Structure formats: C-alpha cells, structure tokens
Structure 1
C-alpha cells in the first residue's frame, strides 16, 4: 500500500503516517468528475500520508461503500449539491446513525443556512470553494488531533482495566504491555530506580479512599515514578527513581501518615537499585522476597531486599526421622507438633522457605516409597518445586497461616496415606493451575519439571481425583475466567484471550463456543 495515492479496492492492513498514528482514510463525494480529482490532489498536498479509498458521485454511492467496508473510513469530503442524496443529507444520516466518521462539507455557497444545518449534523468543518490548501490542512489536522486524543484516552482506560488482571512480572515479559505501562516511565526519567510492593492487612482497594490515593500519588510524583494497582493480587506497586536514603525517608513519612489514617499495618517491600526497564521482573521478585519477611517480623514496617541472609534448614536429620516415623505410624498429633516446633524455630523467611521445602521433600519421598508413585530420577529436591517462595509465602498474612497450610498437608498425609496417597499432589496441581492458568502449561511439562514423575501416571492420578482430564479442567478454568473478563466492555476479545491463557484468538473463540454454545462477542451482547 502506498500513501499519497488513490487506493480504490480492498486493503488488508493499516499504514502508519509520519506522526506515528494510522494514516487517515478518506472518501470524496462530488457529482463533478474533475472536482473530485482536484480535491484528491488537495488532500495529498494538505496531508501526504492520507489515503483516498474512493470517490463517488453522490451520497447513496458513499453509503453503499461504507456498508461494504465497515469501520474503514475516517473522513468524508463531500459537496453539498449532488443528485439522489446531497452532502447535507449524507451528513444527517451518518449523524443519526452515530457514525464516528468525520464529515467535511465543501460548498460553492457561503450561505449561513447551509453552515447552520451542517453544524447541527455534527460535521467537522464547512469549507467554501475554492478550497485553499491551508484551510484543508487545518481541517484534517483538527480531525487527526481529535482522533489521537480519543485513542489515547481509550488506550489509557483499556490499559488501566487490563492492568487489574496482570502482574508486574507479566507486564515486564510482554512487549506490548511493557510498551504501554513501563516504557513511558523510563523515557521521562533516567538513573537508578527502586521497585516497591505495598500491602495492607485490611485487603481493601486503596483507590477507594481519596487520602490514601493522594499519599501514593505524592510518593509517585516526588520521585518521578509510576504507581500500579493490581487487583488480582490486591497489591500496590511503585517504581521510584532517586536516592535510597531519600526514598526511605519518604516511605517512613508515608507509613506514619497511613498509621494516622488507621492503617497501622501497611507494609513495604523494597528491591535493590536497578537501571533498566528489563530489570523490572527481577526487582519485583526482590521486593516480594523482602516483604515476605513480614510473616516473621510482623506488619507495619519497611523491608529491604538483602543478599546477606544465610538460610538454615531447621529440619535436622533427627527431626526428619521423628516426623517420618510419626506419619508412618499415623500419630497425627505428634507429627503436627513436630512440624510446628520446626517452623517456629525459623528466624527469617529464607530459612522458613528452605525448611518448608525440606518438609515437602520428605513428604514426597515418603509418598513414593509407600506406593504413591514412581520417584523420578533427579527429584531429590522435589520440595522446592512444590513450594514457591513467590506464591506460597506471599499469599499468606501471618506465620500462623503458613503453619496451618503446612500442617494441613502433613495431617492429610498422615490420615489418608492408605486411601488417598496422591491427595496433596493433586491439590498442589489445582493450586498451580489457579496461579498460572495464563501461562502455557501442560501435564507433560508439569510431570517432568515440577513433579518429577511419569506424565501418564500424573494424568491418571489427576483424572482419578477430579473425574476429568487435566486439559479439560484447564480449559474449563480458563473459560470461567474468560466469562469474568468479558464483563468489561473495555477489554477487546484479543485481550480477554491473552488474559485467559490463549495467544491464538481464533482458538480461544473456538473453545469458548464449544463450551458455551456462542462466541465471546455473542456472550457479551446477551449479558
């Protein structure tokens, strides 16, 4: 496709103009042949990037073209006096249909009544023949500015809505989302940045309280950064540029103000200093690792990420033997007491993580030795795969909640080892799907890299426990999430597909229709 040319016929893609936006697509309507050609020449002089998609003798022909090419045209330049349907009636029809197409009326008559009628039909401009190049350029530039403002506003609304369903890690990993959310921040500010994760035990949206929102915005503006709220994890993430000492000083003031407002348990996790947008995912992990320390030291503090922690494994050989013996003999109360004592001896979250992973590793090997499945080669540290530092610690508010989670698994192994040896593996698998359904996951990959067991065995295990195959369960889970996302009119179907775990939109639509008997668009229309 070339610009500055007459482009009659179908086109299959948009072109970009030198301003970075999509080039204007224009129709010309005038009952005089040479007048149409002269107007096309003036359009190219006024906007060399414009594309003339067709020229017609009257408004009826224009409407026929629009019907065959929905959503294609941006601007119609039309004469007033034409047979069958004149320019004013064409403008009136488009106005009544609430069409987004901009109409520029071109007339040989400088009459007030014509102009008054044109304005009442929402025309973009009224130009008198002979049309001057500068006049037309000004009229087209006005349309371009208006469209750019609208597109920016819609992009902002869509971005904010989409953001609710993402995490900073997903934004950093996805080029399109990174360009929308992160690149603009780094273009306006250079130097080191710190990523902060801020949480409150009250678990409410801070954006609903003007004073809380004002304090976060003040922090953002003070350090030329950006503030994100992720509804999926109910977390606030701040990117701040500046000196560590100054940021910490402002954070302490922020926590004091939040305490006065009744939020005494607001907690901050702070990353190390980073310099590139590509480091955002790593910085986020550091901030999460830091804020996890609240489980041991309590809420209402600022935790900085440090590489100085030396984690210890509190599951000694002696305690390991005692725990395994208690489980084997179904002495559940004793098994729980041993586990509780082990966890209470953890002084930091790194030690807590290593210790819980070791307990899970013990349970896994006990499970395999007692007929629960074949232990895969290289699975000596399987517990680290079952328990995630990022997810499994981060989702809890207190150490007692983490203890309850671990004790429940120990109790399950102890009580049900004869009838449901696989119970906790399947439970972990279901939890993994809930956290990672947006990613490309399969039972084969999980069996090989997460659970270190034969994929056929894990498939049978899953179906025996849930009554359905893993792939059908995953598809149903994603489809339920898709229905929730379709509640938002601002999310495009492609956005819903991506956020539901499907990069192929056509496949997503096919699966959705197979499950619900209608396409996503039809479902949205029937709500």
Structure 2
C-alpha cells in the first residue's frame, strides 16, 4: 500500500536529501509534501491526505513535538517519525508518549532509514487489517440485530391479534443500551417511510432497484447523527416502505430530531441520488402496539391531500384538517416560490403567520409551518449553488420560532431567508430540468393511460402553469402536443406492423373514443389510420 508523506524541516537541503534517499532505497511513496515549519505543515495536513509525518525536533515558530500535538488534533491516524540531532532523553520520552513510531538521530544510515519505513509500513498494514476486522464485525453485528428486529417488526405488523412490545424490549432487540434509570422512562415514535414513485422515474433507478434504493436510504439514515436513538428496517410486504423507530425521553426533542433528520435526508437523497421520500409518524408512545402503526399509516395518508416529499405527524392531523387552516396559502406559497414573486410571498407570510391563526392553533402551529417552509426551500432551491446560505446553515435556523421574540420577527426572518435564497440562486433550474426529463420518461412509459397536465404537475410537485412553461422551454413543444406525438408514433408502428384493429390500436395508445383517435390521427399524419396502414405495408 502506498502512502502520502510530509517532510517537515527548516533546511531545504535536508528535505531534498531525504526525498532523494527514500527514492534510492525504493521506499514506495505516493506523494511527498514539504514544509519548512510547523505552521506550513499544519496547512498541508488540513488541505491534503497525509499518512506519515517526518519532522525535525527544533524548528523556528513551532518545535516538532508541538507540531505532533497540533496535527493529532486534526487527524488522529497520522503516523510520526522524528529526525533529531539531539539525543536528550526528555525529547525521546515525550515523543514516545505522543505515539511517535521512531525517534532517529541524525545522521541516519540508509539501512536504519529503510528498516524504519519497512517496519512502519508493516505496522500500518496490520492496523488497517485490525480496523477492517473490527468494522466487519460491527457490520455483521448490526446486520444480525437488524435482521432480528426486521423480523419482529414485520411479524408484529402482519398479525391480526393485538400485540404489545415495550420500548425496553425494542431497545434490547435493536442493540441500543438501556441504563437502569432508563427503564420505563423511554418513549418512542413509529415512522413509516414511503419511497415516492418519482424515485423510479429518472435515469438512475428502475423498479427492480428497490433494494438498492432502500440500502441507500438506510445508509444515509445511520450516517446522519441525532440526539435520540434510532433504528430502521425494511418492510417485507411492500418494497416501497421502510419502518423507523426513534427512542428518547423528551417528546419535544425527539420530534425536532425527526423533523431535522427528514430535512437532512431530503437534502442528501434528492439532490445527490434522485430518491424521494415521505414520512408518516405516530404519536409518542411507551409501547409498540397496533394503535401506533395505525397512527403512522393515517399520518402518511395525508400525502394524498397535501402532497409527497413531506413529513406528517399524527398529532398534527387535527390542525391540518381544521377548516381555517391556511391550506390554500401554503399551495400559493409553493407557486410564488417557483416564480420568485417576492411581493406576493411577503403578503402570504403576513397571512400564514397572522396573530389570529397563531392564537387559534397555539405554538405548535408555528413549528408545523416553519418545517413546511424549510421543506419548500429544499424542494425548490438548489442548495449546492448558494453562496450565502448552505443547507447546513438553513438547518441551523431549525429552531427559529423559539428564538424570536414576536410574530413580526418571525415573519421578517423567514422573509429574509427566502429573499436571499431567490437572489443568490433562484429556483433550482437543474432540479426543474431533471423533473421535466422524468416527466418525459413517464409519458413514454404510460402513454396508454389517461395522462393530464394536472396529474403530471402534481406528480412532480409543480403548479400546472409552471410545469407547462418549463416543459415547453426544455422540450420545445407543449406537454399536450408531446403526449400526442408519442401516441401517434406508437399508433403508426402498430398500424404498420400488427394486425390489430383500429379500435384496439386506439385503446393501446390511450384513446378510449375510436372516433376521436381517428380525427387526431388524420390531423397529425394527413391520412386516415386505414390509409396509413395500406401505404406502409406495401
């Protein structure tokens, strides 16, 4: 295995001489970096991958031992070799305490230098093997725990009898440690995660890739840190579903962590992998029972009314279903964000965060609305391009409603974030183009079905007008004409190469009314279906 080496010495001749000797001795090095002092060395470590540091002890600005301490703060796995003209026991003792592999006195013979690097490489190789073995064992242990919990959860969900599983038992099955004081105090949220259809409507994934998609979701789920304990398993009855469990003592903190996790997962999976998710979450409970599962299912059903790629909590259903809840305003806000209509956005924020609505629904209303707006920002703006607000910075505003002193402050802060987002990057053109390409592919795969612009716009989370304008700009024809072109081309193939009747062909390409198909075909080709068949079979 080849390694990157950093040589630190204030004398250039010594640095160059050491490089030449390593090459002469056949020491296999990938890249060799140089630094004339400690500060330069720290910058190299910060900006490059370094495996081994060879450093002098006495240098201006920073001695070698101080350098080792500072580098270890940045990267713990770097190995150190000290070259020194000083045989003082104090230096050697401190170096050993810092984990230095070799303390060599100048001048160093070729044999000593070669032996040092050979031993160092062997030690590093052994360390990598040990780390891989430990990592593999942890992975196997986690997979074993996941298999047991996956089986238990799916069995629990499939049974018709009322069963109860305590939070302590679930923690035990998932390998989450439980202290004595924790028993009986922990609560849990049960979450159903749905993989949205559009995840399969891009060039990256097909329906047969559902296991790869779920594998990716689980990896991101575990990589993103939360203060509450969590676990995720596959549904064994529906490959578009996963089940997640969250454990903790404070319901409010747990809910915030679940919301934050959803937004982080969305920013990673949608932007980088074209995977789209919707969450349905139960109420907090001290036991896993059928009621929690039903609550998560009911929460997930809210996507039918309010759209996919959102997170829905069962405890919010009452608020969402209130007659005065500003559903229309939320829908309008999406459209205004699409079109970057700043003035109308300002007016809507006044309505959405009015004193009347906050007084009616309480402080939980502020949180629900703020998470919705954060979700819209991730949906309609490309987080990679902003120079002023990154995805991480956006999430740093996660608890914004709690830090503001008044509704006016909240409205002002949200307005500033939205306005800055529109100024710096505008609507995510990359994402809009990607969704139009997904729509094109969907048309080619479903032209035999009843496809409407309203359905396509809803499927790809755009307003009908915005979808139509972007489609025409990207494809060059209107969506209606494109659908007709696809159907007519397929009809022409069937007329020329099959014995199906005109009525049957009409149905195969999405026309239930044979007479209407006849008129559209003649207008499109300049001849009747039968005439086309006769001429193209000669």
TM-score (norm 2): 0.31
Q: What TM-score do you get using the length of structure 1 for normalisation?
A: 0.32
Q: Which protein has the bigger helix share? A: 2
